[in-house]
């Protein structure tokens, strides 16, 4: 068992390294592009070249990647803050510390500060959403799965099929129409600024609602399919034929088997909630990590994009590892030989 | 037989139909039988005869789409099919319990075995935990499960098929059922395990005073275990009576034909063709006008058997009845076996295995391999040597894990030898993949597989399957391709229209014929048949076997026949090689292997088939602290000498020229048992 | 499998809706009442639905109905190309990796793992902001995002089918591996892959809408349903239909794809 886990961990670390390399290459492969991004669209070619030289951007890619890694690990300085480079960027922590992701070109601050600001909001939204998604999705999914074919199941399944087909922005638009414009019960944007006339809670309602609907319908369908499929397996019939009471058959035999796979799906949703909710954050102007990514990409802020992508990779790999752990805990076929 | 007291099991005129897309099918028709406590009743039939539907009905279960049209299933007088859901739950367990066919599938993979056993007790006979645990262990001991306590914490995937089936029987017995139904409980288990489990059931039936209904297609097993039997065909009972009477003097033509299809091991009997029953089991959507077996019956008379209304069960003798319109007017025809000519000139050496070894690298990634350095995996094949000559049928006999399939793959090139030689026409191909072999070498060896459901590509029509096989011989134009396909089909006695059909429209036997045709496309000099009839009904097996014999006779090809069925091997093989865990235990001519002196493992196999007497012996576990080595059969061997069997690999001795046995015991000691 | 579609009402409904939109897309130049790009400064701006403009006009005076119709055209140009390309690449990679085994399988699987670790939206955002939005770039981005997942599915299927007897028979005959993959294995791997295709087609429709919404879709003035939602969101309070109608169009296509997938799955 530990062998299996150790093997997976090694795989994930390799994936992280390979992924970070891919990100680095995608953003920094051309030294000219890097310098012109730093200086902005009005820079003259000579300025671009001299910056490239000072930042040693003409060195081979591998070396630059290595330096980037060591800067992140706190072993070397970030050259951009050096006085001779002349960019006027300063970092209160100094130029060498663990987690030095560089400076945001857009906001002229250390990346790590920018992230720290926004990550809290993203986590808040994620927690609120998951707290609703899990009970709703599992509740509906299990109920429909057990009563598959009944009228209620057919109605709910069709409803879920339509709702999953809705793009998030469409649903957001619809909700906004009803609750903001027609009824005026909720705020149209959720910028989460202190002192806003709308409290934090009511600003959270709309984004959470959109995310919950988008995600819970999808998970519910998967849970339902898993329950329906498990009920057909021979050991469920065997359990019925033993004369066991229905509750035992459902809980111990059907659900104990059917809910294993959906657990990993929930973790995938957590992954998505933490890194991929660009649309919802944009619509409601929610100060999370997703809208930051969009702004950074549009601006051309390579260091912020790098950092956000790295964060996304880590979250992805982390949730996959958590998924493996859960699988091991729930399925003895994987846990013991 | 008291007719007043309610029997433990009484089925009265049960008729069940399935509703499917194409219409309704009658799965069970007018089934009536009666079983008392302490009796073991065998329900026998081939696939599609309705026995599984009847078995489930005994537990009050009708599959989705099935409904009862008529009749009742009475347990102690109460019709279980009318029971309310609460009553049903009360009856299942203490009233009637079931042992399913596939023990792995019938158990919950995420609960321990102990938990699943406790579940039954907690539901039907709850007590304190200590009491329940003690009862569990006692019952597991009753079913002869070694070291029962160690199984409680294990999960189903950690036990073998035989062990799981014993546990399933224990689980059923925990509720103290009055009726026990076993639906093909030993299918898929090794022959030796099969015999043990069947015997176990017979003993338990007696000790627990249950009415036992044992469902199987294995006639030999039923004969040894059951007191009374019923033969089912197309959903109805066609014959019923004491096992000895039905097997000894069958009254219904189907029973007669079925028994004739069974190969026996009778010493001194020459190899012969097998009998077969032509045709297919009908799928009936309504009651037939006349006898349902008439289309396939050897004794059919139109006026009496066809268009004559329903045929009823009529008594033949005391405790023996059959459903035939011509009862008493049938004489048993002499079995139509044309004996295979004994004196056949055996031809050139086609295949020779010399000291072939096959080891598999340890599975797992880098880290796993680092952790297991030094431990050697058991080889799949260990120093295997034997020859096959043109026109010969050599049988490889063994149970699961014996390495017989590995050897087939090695010969065909699907795997490569670790060491040793595989000589095909004197050229060593053991290390060559098929793409590295010459066309001639490829053509020389062709494979026929076991499972007819997986042997043909379901996305191709038969004609295309055969064309793809023929195309290896070079470019062929359309017109001659069609002719060649038709020629192949006629070689396996299939009509040319078969070329336009899809595999799923063919029966299992027809699919195997196409598989043989596909092998014949390459004009092979050696046909490797890996369990070609194991998945087929007895009545169909004979046709395929006879086909292989025809191929041998017409083309002079050699056949390497792999099987676990000793009776079948006895019917057709010229030479026999007995494998155990990758090593040859005994090899020789058919006559030599099937007569004493026997290797201890051969003796066990023959005893399981009822053709020899085995030594009764309590198997002690291995003495601790032994280095690996020694005989590969030692842990199950009933004729162990002592420590030498554990420590030293036994020598291969030539008993008479051409007959070798690998054992430490002297030849004289292997002759007969005291 | 096509026979199956006729028998299952759910799949048939989905297929019908898709066919309908396909026809609309094909016939766009003939059935749209106006040129979707034609600006009308004569004052017909932000009109509510009327006899002249059945769905009204947008803030630049363009007829909404025509833009919806031509938007279908855009959709049917982008989505099949993108999803088709992703599937060809994914199936090729997955099948070859599964059949070859060994080093090739390891390399392809690890590379797929890395790609799959990137959230899809990040791939799109990064690629499309650096390369610029265009049809080809969208197809490339979608292929990069989908191919690993499709490859994993194909790999699983091929691994299972590879062990079946009829494949072994072909191998024992000495057939060429490519011939075996294409003729013996892939036809039997169809099932889950076709279902996945339908589902992903649906996702891609949402995706094009989302990309248009984020400003990363095909550049204006190409009629794009997602972009239309964005353009008209500011008018939500007054002329809400202008944002809602394109939403409904998107939903109808995606629901049709999902129905098709569900129907084929069973």
CATH code of B410's domain? 3.40.50.300
What are the structure tokens assigned to C108, written together? Answer: 């392809």
Alpha carbons A212 and A218: distance in angstroms, whole number: 10
Q: Are B551 and B632 within one domain?
A: no
Is C152 within a domain? Answer: yes
Q: Name the pLDDT band for B642 (thresholds 50, 70, 90).
A: confident
Tokens of C93: 């990679």
* Nearest of C243, C72, C215 to residue A170 by alpha carbon: C243
**B364 at A interface, C-beta within 8 A:** yes
Q: What is the pLDDT of residue B341?
A: 52
Q: What average pLDDT does the segment C88-97 reach?
A: 93
Sort out which chain B residues have CB atoms less than 8 A from C172's CB and list them: 412-414, 434, 442, 445-447
**C7 occurs within a structural domain:** yes
The answer to whether residues B657 and B550 belong to one domain is no
Band the pLDDT of C25: cuts 50, 70, 90: confident
* Residue A333 confidence (pLDDT): 84
B575 versus A72: the higher-pLDDT residue is B575
Best mutation target among A6, A238, A240, A327 (most B Cβ atoms within 10 Å) is: A238
Two structure tokens written together for B664: 């430490």
Give residue-wise pLDDT tens across range B199-253.
898 889 888 889 999 998 888 888 888 999 999 999 999 999 999 999 988 999 9
Of A241, A242, A332, nearest to B155 by CB-CB distance is: A332
Assess whether B404 and B470 both reside in one domain. Answer: yes
* C-alpha–C-alpha distance, residues C90 and C113, integer Å: 13
Report B:60-119 residues touching A (Cβ under 8 A): 61, 88-94, 97-98, 100, 102, 105-112, 119
Place B673 in a pLDDT band, splitting at 50, 70 and 90: low
Task: Give me the residue from A245, A257, A336 closest to B155, CB to CB.
Answer: A336
Domains of chain B: total: 2
User: What is d(CA C37, CA C60) in angstroms, rounded to the nearest whole number?
Assistant: 9
Smallest CA–CA distance from B365 into chain A, residue: A7
Is B213 among the domain residues? Answer: no
| pLDDT above 70 coverage of chain B, percent | 93
- C250 found inside a domain: yes
Residues contacting C18, CB < 8 A, separation 6+: C253, C256, C257, C260
The answer to whether residue B186 sits within a structural domain is: no
Instruction: Spell out which residues of chain C touch residue B515, defining contact as CB-CB under 8 Å.
Output: 169
Check CB contact under 8 Å for B455 and C176.
Answer: no
pLDDT of residue A53: 76
Domain-located, residue C246: yes
Question: What is the average pLDDT across B433-455?
Answer: 84
Q: Is residue B170 part of a domain?
A: no
The neighbour count for residue B376, using CB atoms within 10 Å, is 9
| pLDDT at residue A148 is higher than 90 | no
This prediction has a pTM of 0.85
Q: How far is CA A32 from CA A44, A64, A299, C171, in A?
A: 12, 14, 17, 53
Residue contact A243–B92, C-beta within 8 A: yes
User: Is B456 an 8 Å CB contact of chain C?
Assistant: yes
Same domain, B359 and B499: yes
- Torsion over CA: B153, B156, B160, B161 (sign): positive
CA distance C214 to A168: 12
Phi, psi of B358 (to 5 degrees): -140, 115
Joined together, the tokens standing for residue B416 give: 């490569």
Residues B622 and B521 reside in one and the same domain = no
Tokens representing residue B491 in the block:
């070689």
> Is the same domain home to B407 and B499?
yes
A274 within 8 A of A126, measured Cβ to Cβ: yes
pLDDT of residue A102: 78
Q: Which residue matches tokens 């000790």?
A: B207
First to last CA, chain B: 41
CA-based nearest residue in chain C for residue A275: C119
Please tell me if residue C10 touches chain A, with a CB cutoff of 8 Å: no
Pair of tokens at residue B293: 């077996």
* Residue B402 counted as domain residue: yes
Strand ordering across the sheet containing B23-35? B23-35, B9-20, B66-75, B78-79
Q: Strand, helix or coil at C263? A: helix
Beta bridge partners of B233: B236
Q: Mean pLDDT check: name the lowest of A243-247, B51-55, B426-430.
A: B426-430
- Whether residue C84 lies inside any domain: the answer is yes
Quick one: pLDDT at residue B525? 87
| Pair of tokens at residue A101 | 């992701």
pLDDT of residue B365: 47
B212 DSSP β-pair partners:
B40, B180
Lowest mean per-residue pLDDT among A117-131, B426-440, C180-194: B426-440
Lowest mean pLDDT among B340-349, B364-373, C62-71: B364-373
Taking only the tens place, the pLDDT of each residue in B83-101 is: 999 999 999 989 999 999 8
Instruction: Name the residue of chain C whose CA is nearest to A174's CA.
Output: C244
pLDDT band for position A84 (cuts 50, 70, 90): low
**Nearest chain A alpha carbon to B101:** A234
Query: Does a structural domain hold residue C69?
Result: yes
Residue B64 domain flag: no
Tell me if B42 is assigned to some domain.
no
Kindly write down the DSSP assignment for every residue of B203-229, as one continuous string. HHHHHHT-EEEEEES-HHHHHHH-SEE
Does the structure show a pLDDT above 90 at B291? Answer: no
- Of the candidates A15, A166, A293, the beta carbon closest to that of C113 is on A15
Q: Report helix, strand and coil shares of chain A as percent, to nearest 5.
A: 75, 0, 25
Beta-carbon separation of A234 and B105 below 8 A = yes
The verdict on residue B320 lying in a domain is no
Which domain, by its residues, includes B492? 349-527+545-557
- What is the span of the domain harbouring residue C179? 2-27+62-265
**Is residue B551 located within the same domain as residue B602?**
no
Q: Which of residues 78-137 of C touch A (CB under 8 A)?
A: 110-111, 113-114, 116-122, 125-126, 129-130
> What is the rounded average pLDDT of the residues B628-652?
82
Count Cα neighbours of A281 within 13 Å in the Cβ-side half-sphere: 25
Which of A10, A240, A257 shows the shortest C-beta gap to B110? Answer: A257
Nearest of A37, A86, A80, A31 to residue A57 by alpha carbon: A31
Cα three-residue angle A109-A114-A118, rounded to 5 degrees: 160
Contact B527, B551 (CB under 8 A): yes
Lowest-confidence region among A166-180, B10-24, B401-415, B486-500? A166-180
Q: What's C77's domain CATH number?
A: 1.10.3720.10
Closest CA to A101 of A114, A88, A110: A110
Place of tokens 């590892």: A321
Q: Do C125 and A169 touch (CB under 8 A)?
A: no
Whether B212 is covered by a domain: the verdict is no
Q: How far is CA B176 from CA B97, B124, B137, B165, B172, in A?
A: 9, 9, 15, 17, 8
Q: Residue A328: pLDDT band by 50, 70, 90 thresholds?
A: confident
pLDDT per position as a tens digit, B26-50: 999 999 999 999 889 999 998 888 8
The pair of structure tokens assigned to A234 is 């021979």
Q: Which of B449, B458, B472 sits opposite C188 (nearest CB)?
A: B458
Task: Give the number of domains in chain C.
Answer: 1
Q: Return the partners of chain B (3 or more C-beta pairs < 8 Å).
A: A, C
């Amino acid at each position: 068992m530990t062998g299996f886990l150790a093997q997976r961990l090694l795989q994930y670390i390799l994936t992280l390294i390979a992924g970070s390399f891919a990100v680095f290459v995608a953003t920094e492969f051309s030294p000219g592009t890097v310098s012109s991004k730093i200086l902005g669209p009005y820079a003259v070619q000579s300025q671009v070249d001299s910056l490239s030289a000072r930042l040693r951007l003409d060195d081979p890619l591998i070396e630059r990647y290595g330096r980037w890694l060591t800067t992140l690990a706190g072993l070397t300085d970030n050259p951009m803050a050096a006085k001779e480079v002349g960019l006027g960027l300063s970092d209160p922590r100094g130029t060498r510390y663990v987690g030095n992701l560089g400076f945001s070109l857009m906001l002229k601050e250390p990346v790590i500060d920018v992230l720290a600001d926004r990550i809290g909001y993203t986590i808040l939204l994620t927690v609120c959403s998951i707290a609703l998604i899990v009970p709703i999705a599992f509740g509906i999914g299990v109920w429909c799965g057990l009563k598959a074919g009944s009228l209620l199941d057919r109605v709910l399944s069709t409803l879920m099929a339509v709702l999953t087909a809705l793009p998030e922005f469409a649903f957001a638009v619809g909700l906004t129409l009803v609750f903001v414009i027609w009824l005026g019960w909720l705020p149209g944007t959720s910028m989460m600024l202190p002192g806003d006339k709308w409290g934090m809670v009511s600003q959270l309602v709309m984004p959470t609602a959109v995310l919950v609907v988008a995600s819970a319908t999808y998970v519910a369908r998967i849970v339902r399919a898993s329950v329906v499929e498990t009920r057909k397996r021979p050991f469920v019939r065997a359990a019925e034929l033993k004369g066991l009471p229905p509750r035992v058959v459902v809980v111990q035999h059907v659900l104990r088997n059917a809910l294993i796979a959906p657990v990993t799906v929930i973790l995938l949703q957590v992954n998505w909630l933490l890194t991929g909710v660009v649309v919802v954050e944009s619509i409601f102007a929610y100060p999370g990590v997703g809208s930051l990514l969009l702004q950074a990409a549009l601006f051309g802020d390579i260091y912020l994009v790098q950092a956000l992508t790295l964060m996304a990779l880590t979250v992805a790999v982390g949730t996959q590892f958590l998924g493996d752990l859960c699988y091991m805990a729930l399925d003895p076929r994987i846990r013991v030989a | 037989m008291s007719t007043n007291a309610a029997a433990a099991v009484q089925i009265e005129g049960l008729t069940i139909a399935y509703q499917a897309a194409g219409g309704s099918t009658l799965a069970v028709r007018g089934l009536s039988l009666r079983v008392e406590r302490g009796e073991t009743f065998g329900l026998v039939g081939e696939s599609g005869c309705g026995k599984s539907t009847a078995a489930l009905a005994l537990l009050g279960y009708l599959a989705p789409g099935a409904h009862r049209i008529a009749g009742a299933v009475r347990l102690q007088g109460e019709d279980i099919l009318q029971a309310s859901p609460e009553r049903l739950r009360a009856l299942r367990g203490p009233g009637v319990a079931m042992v399913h066919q596939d023990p792995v599938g019938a158990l919950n993979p995420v609960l321990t075995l102990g938990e699943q056993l406790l579940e039954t007790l907690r539901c039907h006979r709850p007590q304190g935990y200590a009491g329940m645990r003690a009862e569990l262990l006692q019952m597991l001991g009753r079913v002869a499960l070694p070291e029962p306590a160690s199984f409680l914490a294990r999960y189903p995937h950690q036990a073998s098929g035989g062990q799981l089936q014993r546990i399933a029987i224990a689980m059923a017995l925990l509720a103290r059922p009055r009726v026990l139904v076993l639906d093909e409980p030993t299918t898929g288990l090794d022959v030796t395990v099969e015999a043990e489990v069947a015997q176990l059931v017979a003993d338990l039936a007696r000790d627990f005073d249950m009415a036992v209904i044992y469902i199987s297609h294995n006639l030999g097993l039923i004969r040894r275990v059951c007191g009374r039997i019923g033969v089912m065909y197309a959903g109805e009972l066609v014959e019923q009576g004491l096992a000895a009477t039905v097997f000894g003097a069958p009254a219904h033509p189907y029973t007669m034909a079925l028994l004739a299809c069974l190969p026996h091991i009778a010493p001194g009997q020459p190899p012969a063709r097998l009998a077969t029953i032509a045709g297919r089991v009908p799928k009936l959507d309504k009651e037939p006008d006349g006898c349902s077996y008439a289309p396939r019956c050897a004794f059919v008379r139109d006026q009496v058997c066809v268009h004559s209304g329903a045929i009823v069960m009529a008594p033949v003798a005391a405790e023996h009845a059959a459903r035939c319109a011509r009862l008493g007017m049938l004489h048993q025809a002499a079995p139509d076996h044309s004996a295979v000519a004994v004196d056949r000139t055996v031809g050139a050496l086609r295949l020779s295995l010399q000291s072939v070894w096959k080891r598999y690298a340890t599975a797992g990634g880098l880290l796993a391999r680092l952790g297991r350095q030094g431990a050697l995996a058991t080889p799949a094949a260990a120093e295997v040597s034997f020859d096959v000559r043109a026109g010969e049928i050599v049988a490889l006999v063994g149970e699961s894990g014996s390495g017989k399939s590995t050897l087939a793959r090695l010969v065909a090139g699907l795997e490569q030898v670790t060491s040793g030689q595989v000589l095909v026409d004197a050229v060593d191909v053991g290390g060559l993949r098929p793409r590295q072999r010459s066309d001639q070498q490829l053509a020389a060896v062709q494979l026929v597989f076991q499972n007819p459901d997986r042997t043909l590509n379901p996305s191709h029509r038969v004609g295309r399957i055969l064309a793809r096989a023929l195309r290896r011989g070079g470019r062929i134009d359309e017109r001659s391709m069609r002719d060649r396909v038709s020629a192949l089909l006629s070689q396996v006695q299939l009509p040319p229209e078969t070329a336009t059909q899809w595999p799923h429209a063919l029966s299992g036997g027809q699919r195997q014929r196409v598989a043989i045709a596909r092998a014949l496309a390459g004009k092979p000099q050696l046909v490797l048949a890996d369990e070609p009839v194991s998945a087929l009904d007895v009545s169909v097996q004979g046709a395929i076997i006879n086909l292989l014999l025809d191929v041998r006779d017409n083309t002079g090809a050699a056949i390497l026949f792999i099987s676990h069925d000793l009776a079948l091997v006895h019917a057709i093989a010229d030479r026999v090689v007995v494998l155990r865990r990758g090593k040859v235990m005994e090899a020789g001519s058919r006559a030599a292997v099937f007569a004493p002196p026997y290797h201890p493992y051969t003796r066990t196999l023959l005893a399981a088939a009822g053709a020899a007497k085995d030594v009764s012996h309590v198997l002690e576990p291995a003495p601790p602290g032994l280095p690996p080595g020694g005989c590969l059969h030692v842990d199950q061997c009933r004729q162990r000498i002592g420590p030498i069997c554990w420590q030293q690999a036994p020598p291969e001795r030539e008993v008479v020229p051409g007959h070798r046995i690998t054992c430490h015991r002297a030849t004289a000691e292997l002759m007969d048992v005291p | 499998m096509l026979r199956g579609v006729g028998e299952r009402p759910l799949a048939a409904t989905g297929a019908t809706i898709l066919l309908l939109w396909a026809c609309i897309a094909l016939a766009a130049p003939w059935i749209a009442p106006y040129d979707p790009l034609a600006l009308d400064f004569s004052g017909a701006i932000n009109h509510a639905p009327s006899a002249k403009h059945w769905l009204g006009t947008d803030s630049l005076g363009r007829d909404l109905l025509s833009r919806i119709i031509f938007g279908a055209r855009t959709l049917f140009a982008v989505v099949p190309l993108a999803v088709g390309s992703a599937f060809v690449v994914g199936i090729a990679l997955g099948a070859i990796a599964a059949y070859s085994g060994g080093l090739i399988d390891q390399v392809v699987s690890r590379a797929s793992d890395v790609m799959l670790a990137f959230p899809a939206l990040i791939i799109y955002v990064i690629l499309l902001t650096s390369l610029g939005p265009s049809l080809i770039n969208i197809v490339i981005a979608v292929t990069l995002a989908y191919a690993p997942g499709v490859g994993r599915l194909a790999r699983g299927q091929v691994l299972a089918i590879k062990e079946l007897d009829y494949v072994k028979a072909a191998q024992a005959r000495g057939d060429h591996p490519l011939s075996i993959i294409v003729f013996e294995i892939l036809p039997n791997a169809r099932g889950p892959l076709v279902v996945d295709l339908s589902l992903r087609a649906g996702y891609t429709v949402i995706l094009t809408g989302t990309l248009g919404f984020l400003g990363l879709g095909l550049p204006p003035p190409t009629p794009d349903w997602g972009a239309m939602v964005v353009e008209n969101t500011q008018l939500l309070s007054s002329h809400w239909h202008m944002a809602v109608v394109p939403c409904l169009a998107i939903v109808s296509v995606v629901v049709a794809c999902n129905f098709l997938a569900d129907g084929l799955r069973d």
